[in-house]
């Protein structure tokens, strides 16, 4: 049976108190991780934005949106790594329908 690929997108928020080099390192880390397990279809790093609600008393963050295609097993691993990475405040992975 052939491996199937699915289209996903992940949005994560980086702590605004990090230095620019630290933020860049986090973005590059996750871009490389996605590329190891699939393909990056589109990526957007947004400027600092106000959050809808504070997370640990922090009211803003840097949003990163990555649309990617991968094996259906990969998003669980991506979610695990996002959850244990210092500097990532929140993340959400969804299945794309486009």
What are the structural domain ranges in the chain? 6-95
The closest of 90, 10, 14, 5 to 48, measured between CA atoms, is 14
Task: Report which of 47, 90, 95 is spatially closest to residue 68, judged by C-alpha positions.
Answer: 95
pLDDT for 98 beyond 80: no
Summarised one tens digit per residue, pLDDT across range 17-65 is: 999 999 999 999 999 999 999 999 999 999 999 999 999 999 999 999 9
Q: What pLDDT is stored for residue 57 in this prediction?
A: 96
Classified by CATH at the fold level, domain 6-95 comes out as Alpha-Beta Plaits (3.30.70)
CA–CA gap between residue 66 and residue 89 (Å, rounded): 16
């Amino acid at each position: 049976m052939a491996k199937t690929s699915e289209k996903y997108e992940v949005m994560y928020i980086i702590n605004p108190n990090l230095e620019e080099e630290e933020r860049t390192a986090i973005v590059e880390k996750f871009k490389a991780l996605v590329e190891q397990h699939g393909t990056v279809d589109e990526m957007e790093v947004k400027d600092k934005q106000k959050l809808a609600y504070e997370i640990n008393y922090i009211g803003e963050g840097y949003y990163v949106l990555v649309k990617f295609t991968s094996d259906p097993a990969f998003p669980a691993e991506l979610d695990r790594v996002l959850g244990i990475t210092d500097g990532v405040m929140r993340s959400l992975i969804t299945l794309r329908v486009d």
